[in-house]
Structures are given as C-alpha cells and as structure tokens.
Amino acid sequence: EPVWAIGTGKVATPEQAEETQKAIRAYLSQAVSSAVAEKVRIQYGGSVNPENCAELIKQPNIDGFLVGGASLKPSFMDIISAVGPSKMVEVWPAYASKMEKEGCNQAAIDAFKYNFGVLSSGADVMLPESKLDPVESLPTYEKLKVKPDARLLKKTLILKLNGGLGTGMGLDKAKSLLEVTGGNTFLDLIAKQVANMKKEFKTDLKFMLMNSFATSADTLEALKKYTDLGTGSDLEFVQNK
C-alpha cells in the first residue's frame, strides 16, 4: 500500500497497485530468478473492499489481498466471492430469499451470511488443543476474601438463556417448561428464586430471558402469573431466526 494511503482514507487505483506489485516481481526476478518470481504470490495490502476488489484482482501481478478492517465485516464474504471460486455465489440467493420471506432483519441476514460464507469456504475454524494454554490455577470460592454487599443487586441483571426446545425430551416447547418437582417447571423455580431474592434483599432485582422465536410465546404465557417479573420487552429479548 502506498505510504500516502496509509491511515488517510485515500485509496490507490488498481493501476497504481499493479505498478508496485510489478516492480516487486521484477526485483525478485533480478535478485533471485525469474522462475521464483513467477511462483511467488504477491498480495496487495491496501484498502480492499467489495467495491474495488474485482478490479484489483484483475491486475496480472496482484495474486491476492491482505484484508484488514474489512475482514471484520459481513461484507468480507463479498470480497471472497468476487475474487475466487465460491459456493456462496451459487447457493446464497436461495438462503437470502428464505430469510427475507421470514422477516429477518438485515443485521441477522448479514451475520448469517458471514458465518455461512466461512463454513462454505472450507476454512478451518477449529482451535486445536495444541494452541490452547492450560489454566495453571484457579482461586477456590472458600478462599475469596469478599464482603457481600446487597446494594450491588440494584446494578445486577439476572439473564437466563431460554432459546432451546425440549424436542429430545418429547416436548414441542421450551425445555424450561418441563415439570421438575412439586408441579413446578424450571421457569417456575427461576421466577420464585428471583421473587425470593427481591423480598430478602428488599431490592428491585432485574430479570430477563433470552428467548428464541420458538420459545417466546410459550414462555411469556407461562410467566404471566409472576407479575413482578415484568412483561413483554421488559422480560425478554428474542434471538433471530
């Protein structure tokens, strides 16, 4: 990338980028050999985006890109699709159409597109154990020297994940609606636990559920009797389909 383009917002033209890439290959040919120069892949590290990548990759001495900030955006998959063979080009329109018909918002569609693009690209997304550092030690609860302060509950939110269906348990609704003891479901026990904490510590403890489109209606219906918990958007936020 040209020095005058680094951090300035200015972007080199495909011709300017090609001029530099060509000079690098010419140097390799002279310093090493023409055979090596032809085999070396030279990547362009400028401001690559979905709008300029197609023209840049057409240049004979640009073999690929070092993508910076654009790699953190959903549109990164548009760069990959434009530059090389990708299943995304063939299959994505069908997925996009289905999500749009289901009323998914653009943020959800973009997020799914990015993740699906990584999956279909064949990229290795696993972290092998060899790359993980083991935890050497952890403090035990009994050794923590902390003084309880109930006033902190005013700044606390209890958030429960509640998006899974209990299909493996023979249910067609949220698994938290499974009865566990004395006629109480998991949700009943959670609601009573929150109510007890509010009473014991005399504070308006906040509580929310992260529901899915498949669990929202059943969950809200089951919790209607616990009026102190809240209702609607005060009680839940819903994951996208």
Answer yes or no: is pLDDT of 212 > 70.
Answer: yes
Interval 78-132: pLDDT, tens: 888 777 666 677 788 899 999 999 888 888 888 888 888 777 766 677 888 888 8
Average pLDDT, the chain: 86
pLDDT, position 221: 92
Answer yes or no: is pLDDT of 219 > 80.
Answer: yes
Kindly list the distances between the CA atom of residue 195 and the CA atoms of 5, 29, 71, 102, 228, in Å, as whole numbers in the listed order: 59, 76, 45, 37, 8
Answer yes or no: is pLDDT of 20 > 80.
Answer: yes
Helical H runs in the chain? 14-31, 34-39, 53-57, 76-83, 87-101, 106-121, 186-201, 216-222
Query: What global pTM score does this model have?
Result: 0.54
CB-side neighbour CA atoms (13 Å) of 231: 5
Buried b (16+ CB within 10 A) or exposed e, 190-227: bbeebeebbeeeebebbbbbebbebbbebbeebbeebe
Interval 27-66: pLDDT, tens: 999 999 999 999 999 998 878 888 888 888 889 999 888 8
Dist CA 24 CA 42 (whole Å): 8
Whether the CB-CB separation of 25 and 59 falls below 8 Å is answered with no
Dist CA 27 CA 141 (whole Å): 63
